[in-house]
Amino acid sequence: MIHSTAILSPESQIAPDVFIGPYCKVGDRVRIGSGCRLESHVVIDGPTTIGENNRFFPYTSIGLDPQDLKFHGEETFLTIGSNNVFREYVNIHRGTLGGGGHTRVGDHNFLMVMAHVAHDCIVGNHVIMANAATLAGHVVIEDHATIGAYSGVHQFCRVGVHGYVGGYSVVTKDVLPYSKTVSERNTRAFGVNSIGLERKGFTPDQIRNIRTAFRLLLQSKLNTAQALEAIRKEADFPEVQVLVDFIEKSGRGVIK
């Protein structure tokens, strides 16, 4: 179903069962997969590729030019997976040449009202971004992470797998996998997001192993390098190795 007031570019490719509501605009080089719904007043520009069964609520803005003063109309891309929900006023921008040229959003994500994904970001799968959560350019959000309402993530930062960022936080370093990280005046990690891990199916033993690693990392008097060495000796488990790998690859440092 395509409403009579919708404007579709002849260069767009839209699956036959896509629902396009009133006053939507689909631009050049946009591909929309089967089962998607554009409720009303949705704007999608290209080059953008969208998978299946995504739902776009009114006034979402998808695939427009990046907010980067160095951008001068170069060809850049946005790719969105399947089974995502984008609530009202969500906006996602295409990439920039300086950042690789490609913004990517995975599958089964839920972006609430006014969430913003800037140029060259990579958002994994099963991610929740609450109201007005904001990603600056070049941010990586790993699978099953949650970004609380009105939180901002600085450029080039990462949020690790199953990481939880509390509302109104300012993130200027990498957020540890499995952690609960919240800022008041200073952003700090407050231990393991154990309730979230239980809900995701982690066993008590796995959560205990992660807690042991966090105790060495956050509560001992060891520096980060010493803590990692201690973790390797005392908590050498697959779920903990995820944490170790994340810290070792951090370019901006991690929030402790």
Average pLDDT score over residue span 186-213: 90
The whole-angstrom separation of Cα 21 and Cα 6 is 7
CA 189 to the chain's CA centroid: 19
pLDDT tens digits for range 133-147: 999 999 999 999 999
| b/e 132-158 (16+ beta carbons within 10 angstroms → b) | bbbbbbbbbbbbbbbbbbebbbbbebb
Neighbouring C-beta atoms of residue 230, cutoff 10 Å: 17
Give the start-to-end residue ranges of the domains of the chain: 7-141, 197-248
| In CATH, 7-141 is 2.160.10.10 | yes
pLDDT tens digits for range 238-253: 999 999 999 999 988 8
Active-site residue flag, 137: yes
Q: Which pLDDT does position 42 carry in this prediction?
A: 98
Choice among 41, 93, 116, 119 that is catalytic: 119
Choice among 137, 152, 160, 166 that is catalytic: 137
Nearest to 62 by CA among 102, 90, 96, 20: 90
| In CATH, 197-248 is 1.20.1180.10 | yes
Share of residues in the chain with pLDDT > 90 (%) = 88
Choice among 68, 120, 143, 174 that is catalytic: 120
